[in-house]
A and B are shown apart, each in its own frame.
Chain A
Amino acid sequence: MTLRFKQNKLPGKRSIYLLKHKSVAIGSTLIVMLAFLAIFAPYLTPYDPIEVDLYNNIQSPSWEHPFGTDNLGRDVLTRVIYATRIDILASIFIVGISMIIGISIGIVSGYYGGVIDKVLVGMMDTFLALPEIILALVLVGALGPGLFNVTLALSLLGWVKYARVSRGLALSIKEKEFIEAMKAVGVNDFYLLTRHIAPNTISPLLTLAALHLGHAILSLAALGFLGLGAQPPMPEWGAMLNEGRIFLRGGWWLSIFPGLMIMITVLAFNFIGDGLRDALDPRMKEVVIK
């Protein structure tokens, strides 16, 4: 990995390098395709994702219905496409909120240090000790099932990773000369944190975010599979897997296609995450710049 970086001496060429990186290229292509599906869903398919047509239920894949129809006669392809919207949007929301919470807590903790730092780090360790999916189950159990509640629960639980990394970054950034210079001229803490420290933490966190996107989709799908996420008839990959499960023997297409979509999306985000790590990891960068 380090060897490959040595070819990339000029930082400006990094973005071009990124695309040449095989896994990033595959990942981005897949994501662009998925985004296309999500954006143009209503124009891509003539069917309605929730309209029940009982007289056409459990039809195997055909020209009319390339992915077949489900137990209520709905076109599986249409539902899979519409589910792309819901799953990807929800996971972006989860990652966004987690990042905002995580960075805020992380930089405050790193910048101020002392008691505040101890309390916040203790909190992070507590959260890290408990598996995220179990906490999500508890939260959703209290809030009641539903896509919004699941998204909210996962958003509130995903911040710890960001907080830990941004705290470490804040610890080193606050020692830099430009921060000291600003302090000397009397810039207040809020301005410093939001305008100078936070932006400097974002690029190293992008790798984490890309991987978190894939992870968020899995968590959403897992909770959907357990019936806690999207409520029927809303198309959501995990919920579709669950609905199709009891028809597995007579209608494999009900659960195979949503399962494949989860696989492709998570893989795509993981590919991008891998590539980003290669290119943006601060430790790697130091090696290159030296």
Chain B
Amino acid sequence: MMNMNINRKSIGIWIVLATIVGLVAFSGCIDNGENDNDNDNIGTKQKLVIAEPWGISSVDPAKAGGTLNNFLVLETLTFMEPDFSLVPGLAKSWELIDDTTWRVHLKDNIIFHDDTKLTADDVKYSFDRNMEENPTIRGELGIKSVEKIDDYTIDIITEKPDAAIPAALSYARAVIYSKNSIEKDGIIINPIGTGPFKFEKYDKASDILELSKNENYWNGVPKLDTVIIQGGVGEASTREMAIEKGEVDFTTEPPMGSTERLENNPEFNVIIHPLCQGYKLNFGNLSKAPFDDIKVRKAIAYAVDKESIVEHILYDRGEISNGMGFVPGIEWRNNDLVGYPYDLQKAKQLLKEAGWEDTDNDGILDKDGKAFKMTLYTWPQRPALPPLAETVQSQFKEIGIDAEVRIMDWSAIKERLNEWGAIRVSGGATCMRIPDPSYYLERNFHSKGDSNSYGYKNEEVDRLLDEGRSTFDKQKRYDIYREVQEIVVDDVADVYIAYHNLAVVTKSSVNGYVPNPSAHDYRINSGIYIEE
């Protein structure tokens, strides 16, 4: 009897497995309430349904400020334009009073979604709450406290002289909301903001967020009546199915290989635009062999064929980097840098100079009896990363480095970066969360930077970064940050391979989307409308 059971079970499991592919690919069933269409009135024509890759999970601005800012519910004191420039937002102007105090003047005509006026009290409430509920926001902003001067004026006190404050005020998580926002057990469940769209409701179980038009928006009334966001559609192929089946009107990042097919279909618009994001190799530990040797790092930088990666792994949705994370068009970018173009001869030469030679003729370099066997770690959530790691592996083979690819969870990789020769193949880090170079450069290359877990330390870079942050003269800051970029690329602190271009797919009836390279992924704009 038992044998029979096992037999039946294994056939059953086999059937399950054989259909897994189909299930995953065809499970794009997104309930967007389209059945309601028949009962609705004229307004429903201007309705946009979005399939969003990330889960929403909360509408408390202290936790989900970035999401609510991205969908234009909550706004910030200053705005970052798609060209990375800084413009006034809810604040009309700002000035430096003394080294550690910025005075910010608020616009006096801003009305919240509940028809109350925005005042300094709301701004202070928002900052205090954001920084208390979410300590990382405090760390990222570098703000000590916010003081009310009068109804439309506040002072921002910083720990140290900080030239990046006006830019930091545009940070998507430094959102402003009314102190009348509805709380339940200390968590905001109905955020009241100032943006073009009003919060209507959020259903946690289905992860669906509903927004409606703000008729009184201070900066031009949006064209859409309703925006419905289905969160947590993490699978690229599921998003692709959802838009092809007509369940959603707008989505992002279809599978890399599918963009061409979608572009050729007249039912869809495919908009591909640069983002300040990209793919790079992070050396696990820069203070340990073999990567403590700059020649080895340079050899690795030369050995990566960036062109073929952009063409075949990113399907031309990318651009070769100059060795630094800033994409062309950013004013802070050092355009004189050229990075490390693909050059196998140079790579081999550098490794030889560093003492790595194939003495036992097994095709793998060795030095003092140690073979150059290392590991490339990467994670599976970004679809381009595993094939990218495999490609790098085969390119390393050309210079005699034997690499093993290991795909695991992001957090599990962190613990393994101290292994001999570990490299992390990374993607997705945004270079301009705020329109100031300090954010990216300090986090990655200051010896105390949040993202500098690989131990890059150059005292000159540390000094320049501290100086740049506290220098208020813009021209001087340009020079400082250009020099930082030059030193960091010369040091091969990491190997920046290519920038990533984002793809947005909409139904062809969706018009008016303005690509926004400064967004974390994509960002909607109030000019979007539906044309039948």
Contact = CB atoms under 8 A, between A and B. Distances in A.
B390 A52 contact: yes
A51 interface: yes
Given A54-B391, A57-B312, A266-B14, A208 B386 contact: no
Interface residues of A, number: 51
A215 B261 contact: no
Contact of A249 (B17, B20, B237, B406): B237
Nearest to A252: B21
B267 to A, nearest CB: 15
B13 A215 contact: yes
Contacts of A244: 21
Interface string B44-67: 000000000000000000000000
A54 B18 contact: no
A54 B11 contact: no
Contacts of A72: 312, 387, 390-391, 394
B2 interface: yes
Interface of A: 50-52, 54-55, 57-58, 71-73, 144-146, 161, 164-165, 207-208, 211-212, 214-215, 218, 221-222, 225, 227, 231-233, 241, 243-251, 255, 259, 262-263, 266-267, 270, 273-274, 277, 281
Given A225-B20, A251-B257, A266 B10 contact: yes
Contacts of A267: 14
Nearest to A58: B257
B6 A208 contact: yes
A147 to B, nearest CB: 11
A72 B309 CA distance: 10
Contacts of A232: 386, 389-390, 405, 407
A248 to B, nearest CB: 5
A255 to B, nearest CB: 5
Interface of B: 2-3, 6-7, 9-11, 13-14, 17-18, 20-21, 24-25, 236-237, 240, 255-258, 261, 308-309, 311-313, 380, 383, 386-387, 389-391, 393-395, 404-408, 412
Contact of A233 (B13, B257, B312, B393): B393
Across the A-B interface, the 8 shortest Cβ-Cβ residue pairs: A52-B394, A54-B312, A246-B255, A215-B10, A54-B308, A233-B390, A232-B405, A250-B257
Nearest to A244: B21
Contacts of B311: 54
Contact of B17 (A52, A54, A221, A231): A221
A214 B237 CA distance: 30
For the complex, would chain B's binding face be called helix, strand, loop or mixed by DSSP majority?
helix
Contacts of A262: 14, 17-18
Nearest to A208: B3
A218 B18 CA distance: 10
Contacts of B312: 54-55, 57, 72-73
A212 B10 CA distance: 9
Nearest to A277: B3
A242 B386 CA distance: 11
B258 to A, nearest CB: 6
Contact of A71 (B24, B261, B387): B387
B398 to A, nearest CB: 10
Given A146-B406, A231-B406, A259 B3 contact: no
A161 B6 contact: yes
A148 B124 CA distance: 56
Nearest to B4: A277
A52 B258 contact: no
A63 B412 CA distance: 43
Contacts of B14: 214, 218, 262-263, 266-267
Given A231-B405, A250-B261, A273-B3, A243 B386 contact: yes
A250 B315 CA distance: 13
A249 B258 contact: yes
B255 to A, nearest CB: 4
B68 to A, nearest CB: 30
Contacts of A144: 406, 408, 412
A239 to B, nearest CB: 9
Given A54-B313, A72-B387, A245-B237, A145 B10 contact: no
7 contacts: A52-B391, A145-B407, A165-B2, A215-B9, A222-B17, A249-B255, A270-B7
A246 B258 CA distance: 9
A250 B309 CA distance: 19
Contacts of A281: 3
Contact of B25 (A50, A52, A248): A248
A135 to B, nearest CB: 15
Contacts of B390: 52, 72, 232-233
Contacts of B404: 231
Given A161-B2, A250-B258, A270-B11, A263 B407 contact: no
B348 to A, nearest CB: 19
Given A144-B408, A246-B236, A277-B3, A263 B18 contact: yes
